[in-house]
Amino acid sequence: MTSPSFENTERYESRVYYRNFDAIRLLAASSVIFSYAFLIATGADTTDPLKSTGYTTAVYGIFILFILSGFWVTESARRSATLGDFIRKRFLRIMPALVVSTLVITYGICPLFDQSGWWEFVKSPSVLSEVLQVITLHSKDLHFANVAFYLSSYANDMLPGTASSVLWTIRLGVMGYLFIGLMALAGLFNPRRWFALLLVLLLAVGGASLIWIYAISPPWLGELLFILPALVCGIFMNLLVRYHKPRIWLALLLLMGIVPAVQYGVLAQAFPFLVAYPLIWLGSLRLPLLTRGYTGTDISYGVYLYGWPLTQVMRGFMGPGLSGYELTLYALPLTLLVAWLSWRLVEKPALRFKNGFPALRLGAGYTAEQASG
């Protein structure tokens, strides 16, 4: 029988100890929107500040989000008494906001920019089909042929009609959750299997990184291998901090590795390995600047969901000639507001139903305390 006092105390200590994670997630999600603003403003991502490293700012922001996701979802799996409990919590964190945002974007925003008229757009079976494809994670973006947020700069340009282009990472995130859930179900988070788990993780990351260098088919597998190192680094860090308190000297040493990684053109491949430890260390610090007014509010997911479409809207209203910096200044405040509404009206209420029902037990050999949360 789970001890209520242990459960409450452990949750409190873990949440407070990594009190900076909400702010870090928000900054990472905002960096993705910042990066996409350059693409939407100019039609190309060549002016993105980090493009010279081989990838845009958005890629590094996504890596950070997957590192933190790997850390917290592993924590959720470790504290879930049943597989049903774990799945319920993940479903409630992801799907309600995804469904609502898809409906709001499709039927609330896109008709304003549809060339066939509002009613023709709303009643179109193809529009409903696209919505269902997104909600069921069969589509990695939201695009409508007759929607144009602004005039295309060249022929066969799908950018003006793309209402969302971040959904591919959500689908990959769900795959990552399944991976973590299966690890927990197999009992791999049991401390007695610590060294075997480390070996599996290291082999998985190393192998995925090597395969990622080459062309992958089908495309979804290449995308999965693209983010897998970041996810696994987050999982690894969650297990590491059970035995090790992050140290500043090691965090700084790893960050110094960014310089040679940039010099030798391997920053994208090395980034998750270099920043995972410093991120967890930063999350554990007492930084009033990041935690002032902290109330457990996490609007990063809303920023991620609504950032692209609202940036498209601002680009449509403001017209051409804007830089990525200027478009960010217009789009980001509106995105933050909508994300806060999403948290208050959709995400937070949905999370009140986190408590699940007994089902298949996670992790043979778990004690009641280890399975709590």
233-243 pLDDT, tens digit per residue, is 898 888 888 87
88-99 pLDDT, tens digit per residue, is 899 999 999 999
The stretches of the chain forming alpha helices (DSSP H) are 4-17, 21-42, 57-79, 83-104, 118-122, 125-135, 167-185, 194-212, 219-240, 248-256, 258-263, 267-284, 288-291, 300-318, 324-342, 348-351, 368-371
CB 165 within 8 A of CB 309: no
Helix/strand/coil for 247: coil
Exposed/middle/buried for residue 318 (C-beta within 10 Å: 0-12, 13-18, 19+): middle
303-345 pLDDT, tens digit per residue, is 999 999 999 999 999 988 899 999 999 999 999 999 999 999 9
pLDDT at residue 5 in the model: 26
pLDDT at residue 245 in the model: 84
pLDDT at residue 16 in the model: 42
- What is the rounded CA–CA span in Å between residue 233 and residue 27? 19
CA-to-CA separations, 38 to 58, 70, 290, 324, 328, in angstroms, rounded: 10, 28, 27, 4, 8
Give the residue, 208 or 244, on which the prediction is more confident.
244
Delimit the domains of the chain by residue range. 4-371
147-188 pLDDT, tens digit per residue, is 889 887 654 578 888 999 888 899 899 999 998 888 888 777
**What would the mean pLDDT of 201-227 be, rounded to a whole number?**
70
CB 223 within 8 A of CB 58: no
Q: Token digits for 50?
A: 């980090």
**What would the DSSP string read from start to end of 89-109?**
HHHHHHHHHHHHHHHHIIIII
pLDDT at residue 83 in the model: 84
**What would the DSSP string read from start to end of 43-100?**
SSSTTSTTGGGTS-HHHHHHHHHHHHHHHHHHHHHHH-SBHHHHHHHHHHHHHHHHHH
pTM: 0.86
pLDDT at residue 84 in the model: 84
Location of structure tokens 């549809």: 114
**What would the mean pLDDT of 209-215 be, rounded to a whole number?**
63
**What would the mean pLDDT of 45-73 be, rounded to a whole number?**
92
Per mean pLDDT, which of 29-38, 216-225, 260-269, 280-289 is the most reliable?
A: 29-38
Q: Supply the DSSP symbol for 345.
A: I
Mean of all residue pLDDT scores within the chain: 82
Give the residue, 372 or 199, on which the prediction is more confident.
199
